[in-house]
Amino acid sequence: MAKITYSPAEELIIHEVIAMSKDDLMRERVTPQGTMPLYWCDGILFSFSSLPMSDDITKDYLKGKIHWLEVHYTRMDEFTPVLSLDEEEYKTKMNIRIIDTTFSNIHKEFARWLKSSIKK
């Protein structure tokens, strides 16, 4: 029988955090091929980009450290599974899927940290 070990992340290292309007946040998820989803957790709508994998980043992952290079966010009190954006460039309404990540411990901790940091 195989042994299964659960090893959740112990640290999230965020290198840049940028507040923006909901429309700008949605607009950044529009690509010529379609749209990419956004994440929602406890009143925060956000996207993040990770650092490219390298030997050092892989070592950190194995030690339970996750790196987010950049986080873009806005407040959105209520979860909704889809947001619509009238996109001028493509002359159409774009639907952006929203993923509820309130079940993720790391996302919940991020949302709590961000809310407390905003107040400062």
The domain ranges of the chain are: 11-119
Higher-pLDDT residue of 61 and 30 is 61
Instruction: Please state, in angstroms and rounded to a whole number, the distance separating the CA atoms of residues 55 and 53.
Output: 7
The stretches of the chain forming alpha helices (DSSP H) are 22-27, 55-62, 105-119
Q: Give the residue carrying structure tokens 């946040």.
A: 25
pLDDT of residue 21: 96
pTM over 0.75: yes
Q: What is the pLDDT of residues 62-100, one digit of tens each?
A: 999 999 999 999 999 999 999 998 867 667 788 999 999
Residue 108 to residue 104: CA distance in whole angstroms: 6
